[in-house]
Amino acid sequence: MKRRGFIKKSSLLGISVGIPSSFALNLNESKINLKKFPIVIATWEVKNATNKAWNLLKNGSSSLDAVEQGCMIEEADVNNQSVGIGGLPDRDGNVTLDACIMNSNGDCGSVVYLKNITHAISVARKIMEETPHVMLAGVGAEEFAYSLGYKKEVLLTDKSRSDWLDWKKNSEYKPIINIENHDTIGMLAIDKNGNISGGCTTSGLAYKMSGRVGDSPIIGSGLFIDNEVGGAVATGLGEEVVKTVGSFLVVELMRNGYSPQKACEEAIKRIVSKKNSNFKNFQVGYIAINKSGETGSYSIHDGFSMTKFENNLNKIYKSNYYSNWFLNW
């Protein structure tokens, strides 16, 4: 699975988003063609994950089941060092996981700083369905998982341990675009009934400070769903996504008439146009889907991709990116 890679800053001419009311989406008048569904999209090149999700959807499963089990495919892949077992550790050598999930009713669950459990996405769902809370963290989240029958696991693989020991020789933290070793696997799906759900899961920024949490488990930043409008998920440097509440922004732009593609582009522009933005040194990408099944993806730099499965076709799409426009402007 390829992911992770970057340009010059400038004070982008103030890109504001004033949207005429006449342009706003009239949800009551929207006509949804259910024959177009199911559809599933995901960040990065994760065809095994989208294949799992789409086959569930094709056989009548809910979008919630599909995104959970699709994300679990990546969490269980020891060769994927950005999620689940085999994820790269923090600077102390601990693998800690973050995840969240959201259903078509607006219910959500989140887990933060989870150790010793591979399937953080499933624990997040259990928090949503079996507790009065939205988020559990650290030891509390781990104990909750054990109470449900999850078994303690060693998440640090030999490969990730070796990479961590190599990093410790210099202990230099400097994110590298698209190779920064922290790419959220985010997934959005629409089932045969037209209902949208989403999930995202990550082991976070490689060699991060102990206790660091990015955007992935934060509803509205890493993921947001509104079943009347659409959904969005983010990947990349979480701190920058949190500062603009990125996924919520994408969905609200779609609510106000933006296509998923234009909404992703505008959300990226919000990041790069911030005063003193150092966007040449980090990557952020968004994917989005609206109620009609239209999709979009966009990132700051080259190297980001979206996997989409629809109409029996599982395909990877290279995303357009802001720095290309910026260089040619």
Residue 206 lies in a domain: yes
Identify whether the C-beta of residue 260 lies closer than 8 Å to the C-beta of residue 288: yes
* Residue 260 is assigned to a structural domain of this protein: yes
| Per-residue pLDDT band at 8 (split at 50, 70, 90) | very low
In this prediction, residue 196 carries a pLDDT of 98
pLDDT of res. 174: 63
What is the model's pLDDT at position 15?
35
Q: How many domains does the chain have?
A: 1
Residue 116 maps to a domain? yes
Indicate the pLDDT class of residue 184, thresholds 50, 70 and 90.
Answer: confident
CATH number for 264:
3.60.20.30
In a domain, 27, yes or no: no
Is residue 7's pLDDT more than 50? no
- Let me know if residue 24 belongs to a domain: no
284-296 pLDDT tens trace = 999 999 999 999 9
Query: Per-residue pLDDT for 10 more than 80?
Result: no
Whether 178 has a pLDDT exceeding 70, the answer reads no
Question: How remote is the C-alpha of 305 from its chain's centroid?
Answer: 12
Mean pLDDT of 60-80: 97
Contact 259, 205 (CB under 8 A): no
The span from the CA of 81 to the CA of 21, in Å, is 45
Catalytic center residues: 184
In a domain, 29, yes or no: no
Please report the beta strands in 89-177, taking only residues with DSSP state E, as ranges in sequence order.
97-102, 108-114, 135-137
Q: Three-class SS of residue 269?
A: helix
220 touches 245 (CB < 8 A): yes
Residue 172 binned pLDDT confidence (cut-offs 50, 70, 90): confident
pLDDT tens sequence across 25-64: 544 445 678 878 999 999 999 999 999 999 999 999 999 9
pLDDT at 123: 98
Q: What is the mean pLDDT of residues 312-323?
A: 95
With a cut of 80, say whether residue 298 has pLDDT above it.
yes
Which residue range is the domain that position 85 belongs to? 39-328
Taking only the tens place, the pLDDT of each residue in 122-131 is 999 999 999 9
Quick one: which H or E segment has residue 197? strand 196-202
What is the per-residue pLDDT for 212?
Answer: 95
3 found inside a domain: no
pLDDT at 96 over 80: yes
Strand partners, 286: 234, 298
% residues pLDDT > 90 (the chain)? 80
Whole-number Å distance between alpha carbons of 298 and 268: 7
Q: Which of 268, 229, 269, 221 is nearest to 251 (CA)?
A: 229
pLDDT of 12 > 60? The answer is no
- Residue 113 is predicted with a pLDDT of 98
- Residue written as tokens 């980001």? 304
Q: If we measure between CA atoms, which residue out of 280, 213, 285, 232 comes closest to residue 4? A: 285
Average pLDDT over residues 193-197: 97
From residue 99, how far is each of 58, 144, 188 by CA, in Å?
Answer: 25, 15, 14
Least Cα distance to 108 among 91, 121, 90, 92 occurs for 121
Closest CA to 291 of 225, 199, 209: 225
14 in any annotated domain: no
Residue corresponding to tokens 């994760």: 46
Average pLDDT over residues 87-98: 96
Structure token pair of residue 89: 């550790």
User: In angstroms, rounded to a whole number, what is the distance separating the alpha carbons of residues 124 and 29?
Assistant: 34
pLDDT in tens, 144-164: 999 999 999 999 999 999 999
Least confident span in 5-9, 71-75, 267-271 = 5-9
3-state secondary structure of 85: coil
Among 220, 224, 210, 263, which Cα is nearest to 243's? Answer: 220
Q: Which residues contact 273 (CB under 8 A, 6 or more apart)?
A: 11, 12, 13, 14, 15
What is the average pLDDT value for the chain, to the nearest integer? 89
Distance CA 229, CA 185 (A): 22
From 217, 227, 224, select the one nearest 190 (Cα to Cα): 227
Token pair of 94, please?
């601990």
Confidence of residue 175 (pLDDT cuts 50, 70, 90): low
pTM, 2 dp: 0.89
Q: What share of the chain is helix, strand, coil (3-state, %, to 5)?
A: 30, 20, 45
Which pLDDT band, with edges at 50, 70 and 90, does 255 fall under? very high
38 prior amide bond cis, ω within 30: yes
